[in-house]
């Protein structure tokens, strides 16, 4: 009997954990594989929230998060420490997801050891290396290194083949975030208390129209975040509206948002929600206002209108489907677009339709099948 294929799954932030736990579960269920989980803990509390609900106990936890970490110090530490883990584990393959510093350094450390890399959520491109920054370059580097590209959609697959990636190595699998969303929805149905964390705020805002907000993009530091905060302040002045805003733990985000919005009656600035409670926020919000990547994928699946506070997006599928709209970071534009959605029923209903551009919730199974085909060759 041949030994199972040892797959080192490397990740470090909240969204990577959400998008990889379905892959880890599928690998664990398949005797052809021996998954080894290594978290960089580039995020700490926000990563741990996901590990806990998903029941993942990492084999390696590098605990690398530092307060207000710089990109260069973080990347240097990641490369060194992930390399050490790879030398110890001797994996047959490394899997990374998306475009974080951990994903990029994980791919690079694997390349330095000539270990093949599978890239989950491959081929997202905005065409602008500063939007999002530094993710556009991170994912291009991974795209150069990976030998298996798991593209969520035809759009992302085409972006890779346009960059001369061998089409035989590009597989359209859907996005595993939809697997995660289905999983958490089923968990909440079975155990409603898991998503009861907002009950007090929901009671306080009873009768109001809920706007869910998230914001964390590094390219918005130094101006953009202030504009966003001012837009939220103006939106929350409407007496019919209440804002629920789980604030990212990045100190740059917290300083701006708490400074501008703290203590306002119609704004609940709260700590990051765990995944079931964030799913609850997605369910009760009339509109989501966000610069997040993942939320742009979840909202269309739920038919929840989402205003995207970015100039460009690497996820045009939500915009094409009509559920997402790019509004940039200009205060007046954000407010105008939000009021339009709140006041124009036809405009709202045109956006509030469920679409599945990011997949059917079986992406992890497809990825593991493809990995299985690879070892059978
Ligand atoms: C990172 C990713 C970004 C991803 C985002 C998801 C990079 C360069 N950036 O950005 O692609 O979209 O995560 O949220 O990889 N912090 C905490 N606790 C936590 C998490 C963060 O205190 O659980 C604080 C720390 O002070 C940390 C700072 O936030 O230094 C920034 O974290 P970092 O991972 O470097 O960047 P993000 O902006 O979170
Ligand atoms: N999310 C969460 N709690 C929150 C905010 C977001 O669980 O308080 C989830 C959300 O459902 C999505 C992911 O985190 O799946 C998005 O993470 P983030 O916006 O931090 O990163 P991005 O997707 O922009 O890289």
Which residues sit with their C-beta closer than 6 Å to ligand 2? 14-15, 18, 177, 214, 216, 246, 272-273, 275, 278, 292-295, 298
HSE-CB for 282 with a 13 A CA cutoff: 24
Q: Please say whether the dihedral angle defined by the alpha carbons of residues 261, 336, 134 and 107, taken in this order, is positive or negative.
A: positive
Torsion of CA 263, 265, 271, 272, to 10 degrees: -140
Q: Which of 171, 216, 280, 315 is catalytic?
A: 216
Q: Which of 248, 310, 315, 366 is catalytic?
A: 248
Sorted by where each starts, the structural domains of the chain and their CATH numbers stand as 5-175+360-376 (3.40.50.2000), 197-352 (3.40.50.2000)
**How far apart, in whole angstroms, are the C-alpha atoms of residue 16 and residue 24?**
12
- 132: preceding bond cis by omega (within 30 degrees): yes
CA of 60 to the centre of ligand 2 (A): 23
337 is catalytic: no
Question: Could you tell me the pTM of the whole model?
Answer: 0.98
311 is catalytic: no
User: Among the atoms of ligand 1, which is closest to the Cα of residue 101?
Assistant: 15
- 37: preceding bond cis by omega (within 30 degrees): no
CA of 274 to the centre of ligand 2 (A): 9
Q: What's the Cα-to-Cα distance from 187 to each of 77, 89, 183, 359, rounded to whole Å?
A: 36, 33, 6, 20
CA of 175 to the centre of ligand 1 (A): 21
Please name every residue paired with 171 in a beta bridge, in sequence order, or none if there are none. 150
**How far apart, in whole angstroms, are the C-alpha atoms of residue 258 and residue 60?**
35
Predicted local confidence at residue 2, as pLDDT: 83
Q: How many CB atoms lie within 10 A of CB 280?
A: 23
Q: What's the Cα-to-Cα distance from 46 to each of 1, 40, 61, 192, 272, rounded to whole Å?
A: 40, 13, 14, 21, 7
Q: Look up residue 2 and give its two tokens.
A: 């041949």
pLDDT in tens, the chain (377 residues): 689 999 999 999 999 999 999 999 999 999 999 999 999 999 999 999 999 999 999 999 999 999 999 999 999 999 999 999 999 999 999 999 999 999 999 999 999 999 999 999 999 999 999 999 999 999 999 999 999 999 999 999 999 999 999 999 999 999 999 999 999 999 999 999 999 999 999 999 999 999 999 999 999 998 999 999 999 999 999 999 999 999 999 999 999 999 999 999 999 999 999 999 999 999 999 999 999 999 999 999 999 999 999 989 999 999 999 999 999 999 999 999 999 999 999 999 999 987 889 999 999 999 999 999 999 87
Predicted local confidence at residue 89, as pLDDT: 98
Please name every residue paired with 39 in a beta bridge, in sequence order, or none if there are none. 11, 61
Q: What angle do CA 324, 325, 327 make, to 5 degrees?
A: 140
Torsion of CA 100, 50, 79, 370, to 10 degrees: -80
Predicted local confidence at residue 172, as pLDDT: 98
Q: Look up residue 40 and give its two tokens.
A: 């960089």
Q: Which of 81, 99, 317, 337 is catalytic?
A: 99
Residue 163 · residue 132 · CB < 8 Å: no
Predicted local confidence at residue 1, as pLDDT: 60
Q: Look up residue 37 and give its two tokens.
A: 């989980």
171 is catalytic: no
Predicted local confidence at residue 228, as pLDDT: 98
CA of 42 to the centre of ligand 1 (A): 7
Number of H helices, E strands in the chain: 16, 13
Predicted local confidence at residue 355, as pLDDT: 85
Q: 185, 228, 295: which to mutate for ligand 2, most atoms within 8 A of CB?
A: 295
Question: At 9, which helix (H) or strand (E)?
Answer: strand 5-11
**How far apart, in whole angstroms, are the C-alpha atoms of residue 83 and residue 7?**
15
From the list 242, 218, 240, 245, the residue with the least C-alpha distance to 229 is 245
355 is catalytic: no
Q: Look up residue 51 and give its two tokens.
A: 């590990």
């Amino acid at each position: 009997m041949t030994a199972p294929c040892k797959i080192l799954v490397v990740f470090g932030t909240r969204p990577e954990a959400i998008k990889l736990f379905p892959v880890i579960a599928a690998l664990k269920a398949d005797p052809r594989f021996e998954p080894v989980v290594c978290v960089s803990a580039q995020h700490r509390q926000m990563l741990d929230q996901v590990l806990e609900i998903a029941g993942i106990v990492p084999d390696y936890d590098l605990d690398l998060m530092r307060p207000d970490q710089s990109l260069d110090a973080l990347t240097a530490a990641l490369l060194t420490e992930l390399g050490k883990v790879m030398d110890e584990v001797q994996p047959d393959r490394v899997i990374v997801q998306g475009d974080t510093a951990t994903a990029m350094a994980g791919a690079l450390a694997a390349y330095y050891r000539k270990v093949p890399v599978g890239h989950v959520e491959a081929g997202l491109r905005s065409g602008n290396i500063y939007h999002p920054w530094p993710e556009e370059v991170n994912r291009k580097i991974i795209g150069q290194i990976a030998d298996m590209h798991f593209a969520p959609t035809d759009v992302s697959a085409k972006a890779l083949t346009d960059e001369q990636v061998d089409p035989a190595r590009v597989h359209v699998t859907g996005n595993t975030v939809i697997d995660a969303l289905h999983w958490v929805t089923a968990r909440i149905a079975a155990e409603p208390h898991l998503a009861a964390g907002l009950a007090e705020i929901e009671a306080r805002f009873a009768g109001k129209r809920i706007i869910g907000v998230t914001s964390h993009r590094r390219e918005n530091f130094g101006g953009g975040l202030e504009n966003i905060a001012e837009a939220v302040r103006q939106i929350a002045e409407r007496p019919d509206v209440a804002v629920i805003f789980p604030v990212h733990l990045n100190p740059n985000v917290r300083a701006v948002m708490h400074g501008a919005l703290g203590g306002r009656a119609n704004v609940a600035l709260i700590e990051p929600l765990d995944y079931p409670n964030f799913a609850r926020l997605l369910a009760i919000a009339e509109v989501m206002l966000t610069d997040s990547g993942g939320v742009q994928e979840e909202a269309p699946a739920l038919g929840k209108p989402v205003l995207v506070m970015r100039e460009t997006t690497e996820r045009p599928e939500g915009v094409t489907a009509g559920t997402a709209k790019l509004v940039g970071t200009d205060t007046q534009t954000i407010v105008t677009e939000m009021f339009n959605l709140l006041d124009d029923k036809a405009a709202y209903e045109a956006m509030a339709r469920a679409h599945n551009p990011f997949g059917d919730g079986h992406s992890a199974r497809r990825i593991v099948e493809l990995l299985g085909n690879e070892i059978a060759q």
